[in-house]
Amino acid sequence: MLFGKLRRVINNGNMEQKTPNRPVECLKSFPQRLMIIEDDLALSEVLDNLFTDLGYHCGMEADAPEINTIEAFRPDLVIIDYHLPKVNGGEICASLRNSKLLAKTPVIIISAYSSILLHLEGYAFDSFIEKPFSIQEILRPVERLLLRKNLAGQKRTRMPFRFKTNHA
């Protein structure tokens, strides 16, 4: 099962948590919107196809878009490559956090270099994924962040980010 949401089931007076076979989108009107900012055309296309096939509406940008462009798209989550031609993904993340419309939007930063984590401390991103990554490695944080956002009704609490490196 790729996606799921948490529900409570009463079993002989005891509460237990079960994961049904329904997608995260059932918590909010769908399709949910993902903005993917990636300069690698092949990876961008793969991510677009993957998330579109799963029922998401994807907006694609090859380089640092204006904040107005992202605001107009109204994404539920943003995936940003750290190494872009004109600006680094951390700076885009910082711009999102300064936007009234997008300050609470979850952000995933992807990069081929896990060493950049040392430079990302002040950008307030939600998750980091090292390239290359598997489909499951990109789906898990997307599902987790959208579920957290939807359950909280946009009321976000800062949680420590999780990252997956291939050099563990």
pTM of the model: 0.73
CA distance 62 to 127: 20
- All structural domains of the chain with their residue ranges: 28-164
Q: What pLDDT was estimated at residue 135? A: 95
Measure Cα distances from 136 to 17, 49, 108, 133 in Å: 22, 15, 14, 8
Superfamily of domain 28-164: Response regulator (3.40.50.2300)
pLDDT tens-digit profile, the chain (168 residues): 333 322 222 233 333 333 333 444 444 455 899 999 999 999 999 999 999 999 999 999 998 899 999 999 999 999 999 999 999 898 999 999 999 999 999 999 999 887 777 666 768 889 999 999 999 999 999 999 999 988 877 544 444 445 455 554
